[in-house]
């Protein structure tokens, strides 16, 4: 590795296996010119791939167009796919050249461009630097930013992607459920009678928690905490008991669906106040048939119930 006047580059050997693969792909092309193009692209992509893997970034050669023999016939591309980040173009340049050629097909859908200097013997390569964007077919080597900037840039993109995944895993239901209206037989969409969702009867849901002081109202909602094609559904049950004109007792329960006997292990149920702070929590173990929280709220008070299973969460918002 060299570091001249603060500009970070990287020099290293090209493995024999990579050279053999590049030679094999070169011979498969229709013309010598196309063969040399594919050889240099293959060496460049492979060298960048090895470097970024050493730096801790996840790559996916199989998802890269440059690793697809069919694409070799159609395009001049040297892209390297980085998992969850995008494609990085790894443009080859021979020793002594001052410009990097970036064909039109490589100027779209790229997160950046790395210049890779290939020795005439094909035994050594050097990462010269990178840019985020190109505006034409010719990129001057003098315009390149340090390799350190590339690493910082990819780390920044990784952090952005991590934050996005966290946001995507938290599904927030913005429909505020008005529980007071339940006492008037006005129910929000998705909230069904208990017997439609559970094996047990509504009276059992309430009596399993406590004896009530008056008329109660119970409704349940099917909540999917699964990922993609994997369904992991539970039933959220909310039971109301009017205590007086200013206060109402609330029972929150989670039950398995009628197809399951037990709730999934490590299911967290959290009661949140109007500011999103946790005020009560319960968690399932290996064989819970239900889980419950019981509390009182004043008329007009807001709260939320958060269900979390692994890295998937959902929130239901309520107002009394």
Mean pLDDT of 114-137: 95
pLDDT higher at 229 or 33 = 33
pLDDT higher at 27 or 173 = 27
pLDDT at 174: 56
State pLDDT tens for residues 71-105.
988 899 999 999 999 999 999 999 889 999 999 99
Q: pLDDT tier at 311 (50, 70, 90 boundaries)? A: confident
Asked if pLDDT for residue 117 goes beyond 90, the answer is: yes
Residue identified by tokens 């109402």 is: 248
Helices (H), the chain: 16-27, 32-54, 69-74, 147-169, 202-207
Tell me the pLDDT of the chain averaged across its residues. Answer: 87
State pLDDT tens for residues 230-270.
568 899 999 998 877 788 899 999 999 878 888 999 999 99
pLDDT at 4: 43
pLDDT at 258: 78
pLDDT at 207: 41
State pLDDT tens for residues 206-219.
444 343 345 789 99
- Are 50 and 62 in contact by the 8 Å Cβ rule? The answer is no
Q: What are phi and psi of 115, to 5 degrees?
A: -95, 125
Instruction: Report the predicted TM-score, pTM, of the whole model to 2 decimal places.
Output: 0.56
Distance CA 185, CA 205 (A): 19
Residue identified by tokens 């008056």 is: 214
Mean pLDDT of 132-161: 93
Residue 67 neighbours by CB distance under 10 Å: 22
pLDDT at 262: 87
Lowest-confidence region among 25-34, 256-265, 271-280 = 256-265
pLDDT higher at 38 or 246 = 38
- Are 134 and 98 in contact by the 8 Å Cβ rule? The answer is no
Mean pLDDT of 217-235: 81
């Amino acid at each position: 590795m060299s570091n001249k006047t603060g500009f970070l580059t990287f020099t290293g050997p090209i493995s024999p296996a990579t050279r053999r693969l590049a030679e094999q792909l070169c011979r498969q092309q229709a013309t010598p010119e196309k063969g040399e193009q594919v050889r240099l692209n293959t060496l460049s992509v492979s060298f960048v791939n090895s470097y970024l893997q050493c730096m801790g970034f996840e790559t996916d050669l199989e998802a890269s167009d440059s690793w697809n023999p069919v694409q070799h016939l159609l395009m001049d591309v040297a892209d390297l796919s980085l998992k969850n980040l995008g494609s990085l173009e790894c443009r080859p340049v021979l020793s002594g050249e001052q410009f990097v050629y970036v064909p039109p097909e490589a100027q779209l859908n790229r997160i950046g461009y790395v210049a890779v200097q290939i020795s005439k013997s094909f035994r050594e390569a050097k990462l010269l630097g990178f840019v985020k964007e190109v505006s034409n077919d010719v990129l001057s080597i003098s315009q390149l930013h340090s390799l350190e900037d590339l690493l910082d840039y990819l780390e920044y993109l990784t952090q952005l992607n991590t934050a996005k995944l966290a946001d995507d895993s938290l599904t927030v239901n913005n429909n505020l459920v008005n529980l007071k209206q339940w006492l008037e037989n006005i129910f929000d969409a998705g909230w069904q009678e208990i017997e439609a969702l559970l094996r047990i009867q509504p009276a059992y849901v309430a009596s399993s928690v406590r004896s009530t002081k008056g008329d109660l109202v119970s409704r349940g909602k099917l909540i999917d905490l699964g990922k993609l094609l994997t369904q992991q559904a539970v039933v959220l049950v909310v039971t109301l008991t009017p205590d007086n004109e200013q206060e109402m007792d609330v029972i929150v329960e989670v039950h398995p669906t009628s197809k399951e006997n037990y709730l999934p292990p490590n299911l967290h149920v959290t009661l949140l106040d109007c500011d999103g702070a946790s005020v009560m929590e319960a968690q399932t173990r290996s064989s819970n048939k239900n889980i419950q929280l019981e509390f009182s709220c004043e008329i007009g008070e807001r709260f939320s119930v958060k269900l979390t299973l692994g890295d998937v969460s959902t929130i239901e918002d309520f107002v009394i």
